[in-house]
Amino acid sequence: MVHDTCEVISLIRAHYNGDLITQAAWDRVEEVLNTLPTRWSYGFLECRLSSQKKDVDLLLNIRRDNLEWLHTPQLVEQSPLHFSKSSEILHMWSDGLSALADCPAFWFEWDLPESMATQCENQIPPPMILTCLDPELCGDETRRLSRSDKLRVMAESVSVTTGAQINHFDLERILNDVNVFDGIVKLCHISSLQTRGLAQIKLTYIINRHAILSWLEHIEWPGAMQQVEDILALLSDDIHKLAIQLHFGESFSSYISIELPLCDYANVRAESEQLLTKLCDITQGDIERFSQMLDWSGVMEVVPEGKRWPIRVERTSYCKAVLSDADSQIEVKGYLGFHSRAASF
């Protein structure tokens, strides 16, 4: 059983002692949640580690096996303005009549900058919509999307989100680039944002660590290869696969982000602490902010006010190193995950 996401966030907020998420940022997160369906499979809060910006992003996931929670017909009728495209996609997903019926999951990501006005629903931006293309990510190892399935899903999700048709040959090229490194590179998500159109489609891949540089060369990625090497050199030898994101318009831009796993288990916590220290050094950041990432991870069981039974809230974390299109500076973001279920007795 997964609980009301607003309730989960309120519990985490009440017990959180760090400052990666400010009180104003918590307010913005709760404001968005109050306009949405109450239950989601799991979520993340994104914060800035290498800068003092108070911006926060909210990411929410819904898996196919949890789809009934959303009550999609009512959701379409009552959807807030910022969630209208998302509601349309979820309804198409649930009715089983479109290509999107093959998707195992969706993510929705809201950018909630410090400058966003609170108490004003019209100020809430539409979310980026991340369409999952890999059932294995959701624990379903029995299903696979065929090439034709992926082409249809990618085209339809981008079309609904942006209102524009992505070039079929661009989609073919994206999949061809993966096939050349079959078994080494896997395309996991395609993401689009209503306000960006086709200019900045985001693609998420999982790649064998030691093949990342050669694959980037193969796709003629125009970014700073040396800085990618520098980031990879920070990792311990036992990390074999990494998730990366690239931006695609008519071709790949110089943007890249690399997800860096963290773990607070006693036997490997020291390695994560070393990684955070190295990331802090190369970005000239504040070590106190970086060190808080591992403090987030853990489990708590709490009885919500007015309830009889406790709920179990599990928290995880990871980092992302980002090289943006604008400059060659490395930015580090932190991702604070949360998931709830009934407590065991």
Per residue of the chain (345 residues), what is the pLDDT tens digit? 567 899 899 999 998 999 999 999 999 999 999 999 888 999 999 999 998 888 999 999 999 888 777 766 666 667 788 888 898 999 899 888 889 988 999 999 999 998 876 555 567 899 999 999 998 887 776 678 899 999 999 999 999 999 999 999 999 999 999 999 999 999 999 999 988 888 889 999 999 999 999 999 999 999 999 999 999 999 988 899 999 999 998 889 999 999 999 987 766 788 999 999 999 999 999 999 999 999 999 998 888 777 778 889 999 999 999 998 666 789 999 999 999 887 665
Task: Give the model's pLDDT for residue 280.
Answer: 95
pLDDT of residue 22: 94
Which domain, by its residues, includes 334? 5-342
Task: Determine the pLDDT at residue 259.
Answer: 97
What per-residue confidence (pLDDT) applies to 267?
67
CA separation for the pair 121, 293 (Å, rounded) = 30
Residue 326 is predicted with a pLDDT of 61
Other beta carbons less than 10 A from residue 34's beta carbon: 11
User: Smallest Cα–Cα separation from 234: which of 279, 291, 284, 289?
Assistant: 279
Query: Quick one: 184 exposed, middle or buried, by C-beta within 10 A (0-12, 13-18, 19+)?
Result: middle
Distances (CA, A) of 23 to 28, 55, 196, 294: 9, 12, 29, 20
Q: How many domains does the chain have?
A: 1
* CA-wise closest residue to 221 among 193, 187, 188, 244: 244
Look at residue 106 in the predicted model and tell me its pLDDT.
95
User: What secondary structure letter does DSSP report for 1?
Assistant: -
C-alpha span between 133 and 124 (Å, rounded):
27
Tokens 């220290």 label which residue?
277
